[in-house]
Structure formats: structure tokens, C-alpha cells
Amino acid sequence: MRQLLGHISHFGQVDGGVRYVFEGNAKRNGTKEDMMRAVVIQSFGDPSGMALIDVPDPTPAADEVVIDSSAIGVGGVDAVIRRGTLGGYGFTEGHIPGSEVSGLVSAVGADVDASWIGRRVWAFTGTGGGYVERAVATIGNVVPLPDGLSPVDAVTLGSAAPVAHFGLAHAHFAAGESVLIRGAAGSIGIAAVQLAAQGGANVIAVTSSSAERGRRLRELGATHVLDRAGDGDPAASGSFDVIFDIVGGEQMPTFFDRLEPNGRMVTVGMVAGMPPADFGMHLLRAFQKSRSFATFSLDTVPVSLRDEVRVEQFAAAADGRLRSVVHEVLPLDQAVEAHRQMDAGSVFGRIVLVP
């Protein structure tokens, strides 16, 4: 479970998720005062399989905090789990999706300093447990928010920007190199465009499904806009030093042919599903070009380093050096609509839910 797929594997810490998993029709004791609203997956597949129901308020374990959610990030991995793609990883009906929230700490466990109560924080909740009014997270997955950064912006950047930062580092990206970002319209891709530009890339090409998205990506630092097949701009280079892939899927191996000699592709997500079983043959057929492929997961980054970068990125967002792109803010009871937009491919940036 701790090593799922690309950026999905960032969500491999299950402590926050399983606490909320239950049978949708189970009876429970409790009054209205000690219940909260949560979105659960009652059946995998279409977004209509999710429902808003009442569940018991969480009680923090010794190393946990309870957060009164102000904003909840809707990530690509949430949609992948809801579709049932990852059923083999132990996700069952009754699962509450969501991996990151932002809000105020309202309670702490026995081993957590009480000074956290009342603080504005961002938190990673695990492979689930985020689509709730009050979330739990281990204190090691909680980061304080700086003044000037809204909860909505925090959940737009909190997971995505570190994936972009460390994913580019994993590809050994260096100033002066060319970069292709495949799947640039999501929150990870948007962060990667900005960080590649700030890192001195001489070419930043992006794949996009529309001219309007391409225009917005250019405003963020992209120099060339390609279609989803990697074509559509005669002025763009035919090959790249680094390909930063968030999509995966059947077409992923064809992009190996777009790598320069010694070029590197790093996959941080598989939102379009797994590539063909023989995808590595594309690399072997061009053996003498010394191209390489790697996956990347935040699970491989030491927590202290991960949090250090996240704090720096939050500060950069607060003072305008890193932009947060929010597609839409919806109430918690519109989670189905949020996922419908995700499935339709109409989201640019991130959708955020608010209780």
C-alpha cells in the first residue's frame, strides 16, 4: 500500500484514511452534536457512486491532531481511487476520499503539544479521510501556514508543488535544458511549469487539450504548447532533455521517442492508467541513445526535507513568487460535481471543496 503509483504513491500513508472507512449502512451510536458530514464512495465507478452522509466525529490518537477543515483539495488520485482502478490496493466501498486539508487545529492527541490548538495548518491525511468537516492527521504530516496564504491556496499547492519540485530533481533537471511537461493543466503540472521556468529551462513545452489552456500555461512560463500527442507546434523542438509525465496511460511509451540522447523521463502520476506491459521496449529499441525512465514518489523523500521545501513553497506562494491556480471552489456536498469535472477533463488547476 505504501508504494502505489507515481504521484499516487505520495498518498501511501494510510493512517489518516482507514480511520474513516466503514460500511455505508452501518448503525452507529451518537447524537447529532458528535457527528459530522463526510463524502463516502458507496460504489466504485461513476462519480454518482459517492454520497454525503453523517459519520462520527474523529478522536485523535496520541500522535494525531483534529483539524476543522476550511478547504479540501480534490486531487487526481481521488478520482483514480473512486473509479475503482486501485481496487487491488485494498480500497473498499465506504472509503472516504481526499488526502489534504487545511484549517484550524481543534484537538490534539496525548503526545502532541497543546500549543497546536487554534493554529492554521495544512495536513496530509493519507490515502483517504479528507472529504470531511473534521479531519485527523498525524502531527508529522502537519505544516503551519504562513500569514497571507489562504486555506484554498494551501490545498492547491501542498501536495502538488513538492511533487513538482522533487520530481524535477529526480530527473536531474538543470538550467539550460529543455523540458516537456505531459499533463500540464493539473496542479502538479502547473507547479512544474513554474519551477522549470524559475530553474532556468531554455524550453518548456506542455501538452494541453485547448488553446485557452495553452494561453494560460504560457502566462505561467511555458514556451511551447503541444496537443496531447505531443504535436501541434512546428516551432517546438522534436526532442527534450527531460520529460515530466503526470499522465501515464497507453500513449506514454511513444514519448520515449521524444527524448534527446541521455534524456530522462520521470513519471509522477498515472491519471490515465497504467502503460502497456511492454512499454520498456521503446527504450531498448533505442539502446544507443542512453535514454532513461524512472518513477518518482514523495515517499522516498525524508520527511524533514519534504516539509522544509513545502514551508518554502508556502512562503513563496504567500508573497507571490509561486502561483496557485484554483479552477473552482465548491461546497462539500458538490463533491460529485467536482469529480464529474475531473472525469470530463475540464479542470485547469485544482478544484477545492469547502465544508
The count of structural domains within the chain is 2
Residue 314 domain boundaries: 6-158+302-354
Share of the chain above pLDDT 90, in %: 81
136 shares its domain with 12: yes
- Structural domain includes residue 163: no
CA 236, CA 344: separation in Å to the nearest integer? 28
Task: Note the pLDDT tens digit of each residue in 208-254.
Answer: 888 899 999 999 999 999 988 888 888 888 899 999 999 999 999 99
- Structural domain includes residue 260: yes
112 shares its domain with 55: yes
Residue 292 has pLDDT above 70, yes or no: yes
Q: Which of 255, 270, 295 is the last residue of a domain?
A: 295
- Structural domain includes residue 60: yes
42 shares its domain with 105: yes
- Structural domain includes residue 166: no
306 shares its domain with 329: yes
Backbone angles phi, psi at 222, to 5 degrees: -65, 145
pLDDT band at 13 (very low <50, low <70, confident <90, very high): very low
Q: Which of 247, 277, 295 is the last residue of a domain?
A: 295
Q: Check residue 32 and give its pLDDT.
A: 58
What mean pLDDT is predicted for residues 133-150? 97
Q: Check residue 22 and give its pLDDT.
A: 38
Q: Check residue 232 and give its pLDDT.
A: 82
**Long-range contacts for 213-218 (Cβ within 8 Å, ≥24 apart)?**
213/185, 213/348, 216/325, 216/348, 217/184, 217/185, 217/190, 217/193
pTM above 0.95, yes or no: no
Q: Check residue 36 and give its pLDDT.
A: 98
Q: Which of 259, 279, 295 is the last residue of a domain?
A: 295
What mean pLDDT is predicted for residues 196-215? 92
310 shares its domain with 212: no
Residue 78 has pLDDT above 80, yes or no: yes
Task: Note the pLDDT tens digit of each residue in 105-114.
Answer: 999 999 999 9
State the CATH number of the domain containing residue 153.
Answer: 3.90.180.10
Q: Check residue 143 and give its pLDDT.
A: 97
Q: Check residue 88 and give its pLDDT.
A: 62
Which one has a higher pLDDT value, 159 or 28?
159
75 shares its domain with 145: yes
19 shares its domain with 79: yes
- Structural domain includes residue 1: no
181 shares its domain with 278: yes
- Structural domain includes residue 202: yes
325 shares its domain with 290: no
Share of the chain above pLDDT 70, in %: 90
- Structural domain includes residue 164: no
In the chain, beta strands by DSSP E = 35-41, 50-56, 64-74, 100-108, 120-124, 134-138, 142-144, 178-182, 203-207, 224-226, 240-245, 259-267, 292-295, 326-331, 350-354
Q: Check residue 95 and give its pLDDT.
A: 96
Residue 35 has pLDDT above 80, yes or no: yes
236 shares its domain with 133: no
256 shares its domain with 332: no
234 shares its domain with 312: no
